[in-house]
Structure 1
Amino acid sequence: MYTLYIGNKNYSSWSLRPWILMRELGIPFNEILIPFNEPGFPAFSSISPTAKVPCLHDGSERVWESLAICEYLAERHEGVWPKDAKARAWARSAASEMHAGFGNLRNVCSMSVGLRVELHKVTPELQKDVDRIGALWSEGLQRFGGPFLAGPTFTAVDAFFAPVAFRFQTYGLPLPKPAADYVKRVLELKGMKEWYAAGLAEKWRDLPHEAETPTFGKITADLRK
């Protein structure tokens, strides 16, 4: 059975991608969570050649980087990418865009599922990322008929944008209706609810993550236990 190593569910957007994909597709795996900067846990370097999470272990094989993990799974399981060739090409393009882009959204709106934050300001650069995501999601939903980005089923492209759904919930950024409805739909998924509940229950607080958020906005609620 696969073993997926992940970081804190409150913060680790990269870990969420393969985790939610495997959960929603029913791919069995063992989960091992290693919190950031916590004594008494294995070092990330002991489980991943990049000393980062996520990392998938399949026997002696180690697969790192969320996009590589999804492609590794796609070679072994149906449903990771859409069956339709045009939808599959679009989904891979959109997932790659998320993997490599949207730097302003990542930097200003870091993932912290338990917080609600009112940004001090929305810069033009951040708004450009938000507008692009809204347009991209609306395009996929319209072109392939929904309810997911590339058609009727949850695939890797939805997994890649799942952390963004948490970000929009945390920071309250407005989206056009099709995209806003998609955020609600994703947050209602069984796996997303499970991840969210676990994130709220985590006792660990990583100081670098905690210190970053107040520089960009006012914390209006902390729902973590």
Structure 2
Amino acid sequence: MAEATLFITSRNYSSWSLRGWLLCRIAGLPFHAEAISPDDPRVKEELLMRASSIRYPALVHDGVKVWDTLGIAEYLADAFPDSNLLPEGRQARALCRSISGEMHSGFSALRSSLPMNIRARRPGFRIWSGPRADIAAVNAIWEDCIARSGGPFLFGARPSIADAMYAPVVSRYLTYDVAMAGACRVFADAVLGWDAMQDWIRDALAEPEEIAELDIEF
């Protein structure tokens, strides 16, 4: 079987590409990542959140092409049922799917006001009421999941689909100086200590391309 290919955009700016990468790593899928140039107009529109749909990341595996992070997540969970992409138990799986879908389609104020930028640090960044409400809702999800599972990841000792979906939020919190404590700090530390996340951050810091619209001082 040929090695799988994950097509991604920017490691520094693309939260969707990060999610796809983490999902493949959780699955234990042998793959290589192929970056599409941010100069591609469609890629740039996606990164700037102006596109009507998101086609990257896209995974090609065993003759199948699948895109959209939830599509990739469900495909990998089906192909690798022992990978812990979905936690044990019907209730936990339902919650994992629900909060993953909520991240995928919701929290638009957080995602638009605090775009992912791994290299950047904005100490004292002023967060308006819209993203503050999203931050409170995300924190409540993390606190509830850690209370149920015992952590340090959202559904226990090993990362799942939900952890891949929320990992970019941890990066955003660091960039925009969002305070974390208690269960949120536990989760953030687990994400930042995750080998797959560390690999991604290392390569993001080395990425040469900059996109001016996403690298301005807010």
Class of the TM-score when normalised by the shorter of the 2 chains: 0.7 to 0.9
Please, what TM-score do these two structures have when normalized by structure 1?
A: 0.85
Q: Which runs of structure 2 are paired with 1:83-98 in the superposition (5 Å)?
A: 83-98=88-103
> Higher mean Cα deviation, 91-100 or 57-66?
57-66
State the distance in 2 between where 1:198 and 1:141 align.
29
Matched, 1:143 2:148: yes
Match of residue 30, structure 1, among 32, 39, 55: 32
Preserved contact between residue 7 and residue 33 of structure 1 (Cα < 8 Å): yes
Corresponding residue of 2:55:
52
Helix, strand or coil at the partner of 2:168: helix
> What is the aligned residue count?
205
State the distance in 2 between where 1:205 and 1:122 align.
24
Helix, strand or coil at the partner of 1:115: coil
Match of residue 167, structure 1, among 162, 169, 172: 172
Percent identity, aligned pairs only?
Answer: 34
Matched, 1:81 2:86: yes
State the distance in 2 between where 1:28 and 1:163 align.
22
State the distance in 2 between where 1:60 and 1:76 align.
13
Where do 4+ consecutive residues of structure 1 move more than 3 Å? none
Corresponding residue of 1:4:
6
Corresponding residue of 1:191:
196
State the distance in 1 between where 2:189 and 2:54 align.
33
Corresponding residue of 1:71:
74
Preserved contact between residue 152 and residue 186 of structure 2 (Cα < 8 Å): no
Preserved contact between residue 151 and residue 187 of structure 2 (Cα < 8 Å): no
State the distance in 2 between where 1:107 and 1:51 align.
15
Counterpart of 1:8, as a letter, is S
Q: What are structure 1's unaligned runs of at least 5 residues? A: 45-49, 218-225
Counterpart of 1:33, as a letter, is A
Preserved contact between residue 90 and residue 150 of structure 1 (Cα < 8 Å): no
Q: What are structure 2's unaligned runs of at least 5 residues? A: 44-52
Corresponding residue of 2:111:
106
**Higher strand fraction (1 or 2):** 1
Please, what TM-score do these two structures have when normalized by structure 2?
A: 0.87
Preserved contact between residue 125 and residue 177 of structure 2 (Cα < 8 Å): no
Sort the Cα spacing of 1:120 and 1:149 in 2 relative to 1 into closer, same or farther, 3 A.
closer
> Higher mean Cα deviation, 178-187 or 104-113?
178-187
Counterpart of 1:148, as a letter, is F
